[in-house]
Structure 1
Amino acid sequence: MRKLLATTSLSLLLLAVPCCTLADQPKAVVVLDPPWDHILEKDRVELMCQGPPGPKDYFTQWWFNSSALAQQTSSYVITAARIQDSGDYSCQTGLSAPSDPQQLQVHKGWLLLQALPWKVRVGDPIRLRCHSWTNRLVTKVVYYHNGTGRRYFHINEELNISAAVPADSGSYFCRGLIGRLNESSATVHILVGDLSIPSPSPSTSFPSSAPWYRIAISLAAGFLFTLNTGLCFSVWSDLRRLLRAKQTEHVLWNREPQDK
């Protein structure tokens, strides 16, 4: 009878322990270099996928506006940006869940006001950059806030706000000389406020009043999950290869970096 109960308990624990799923994996993150998500035509930008790489035979999957790209390396380079490169980019590494979309906007014009970030908490810094097409020299640069000149630079420099306050919210644009051309950027908007902060993850510690058998079951489940981790990732690897073979039929091969 005891042997039967022990076997049944073990079976229930094995059923209760999930194999590795997307929910168990950390999300990948798309990082831009340079870090600006608003750029001008002909700018170069590198999108890097950061996440657990997995075994050596894993590839990095990229998506553009939800369509799979042929790129399989950890970085995706746009050497000379075009308007049609605007959109949402996401990626997935060997042992990560798909990243959240990273938006990239490509604009036409002589000047573009870039900002990091567009939405900021009170007390955090803001970077503003009056960026010129093909990085041409810009002189006599003025940054405007809500229609009023805020800062003047004889030679183009970034405007840095070390600790933002609510009064820093509003519209911004910049103006400067490119040769003899007096050019202005389009107006952008920055929000400074008490942005919502995600609540911390619930504590995994047990209350002192928890029954001993719940603690034992949870510890046993964690132990079994640890033992099965290698098997789970092996199964996940095979599944990813099958999905990769299936996705190949729908890959947008015209999105190769060399086609930029």
Structure 2
Amino acid sequence: MDLQLRNRTAFISGSTAGIGYAVARILVGEGATVILNGRTQEKLGLAVQQLQDEFPKETILGLPADFSKVSEVERLLKKLPDIDILVNNVGIYRAASFFEATDDDWQQQFEINVMSGVRLSRTILPRMMTNNWGRILFISSECATLVPEDLIPYSMTKTALLAVSRGLAQLTKGTGVTVNSVLPGSTLSEGAEQFLENTARKEGKTKDEIASAFFSEVRTSSLLQRFAGLDEVANTIAYLASPLSSATNGAAIKVDGGSMGGIL
């Protein structure tokens, strides 16, 4: 399917690996100019080069920024060209009980997971409105409603993204700009792979056994009963970033394998 993305420019925060990189790869393959982002120039350079090697005729750029540092975000915003597609993907988490999570844990996760998208959107959305076209996507999580007991601060930030996304969408009424959020479920990212490997080594089991136990004992609500692949999530995000999704605005799209339940 042609997503009609040639001559569009996309910026994806936190895109040197995981879902962000998978989205970047699809958008580049569809002919979009893509600006990757990571905290360090070294890792960012490797990601840009990897994509450039795969798509030598396409334009792939990189802008480093640590979203926990406002000064770096301000520098990034000054360097950004006009952006047609903004994917607010950067995020961190720390697993800890509610009683162990410190004020710094709460504040850091809010600063990176929520304020990154707020600051980027505050700069980029007015330009999109002037151009009468644009796509803003907030990458939330199934944890926005499942709220695991050891991820309460993280879940709070992912729920907050739904409110920010819906609120911004309401500002776009009658324009060609849309703002939506995407809620992935358990996805086989680098972090998930590392979790499976570490747990398998610790318990003397295979990765497949650990993955199976996760869905039979922890994420029991999942209908998929397996980790989603990165491309399975990225494909939905890429579609929502395209002109083909013009009738979808102010929505929270689940890519959760059914784990969140309900019919809406």
Structure 1 length as normaliser, TM-score? 0.23
Higher strand share: 1
The structure with the larger Rg is 1
Higher helix share: 2
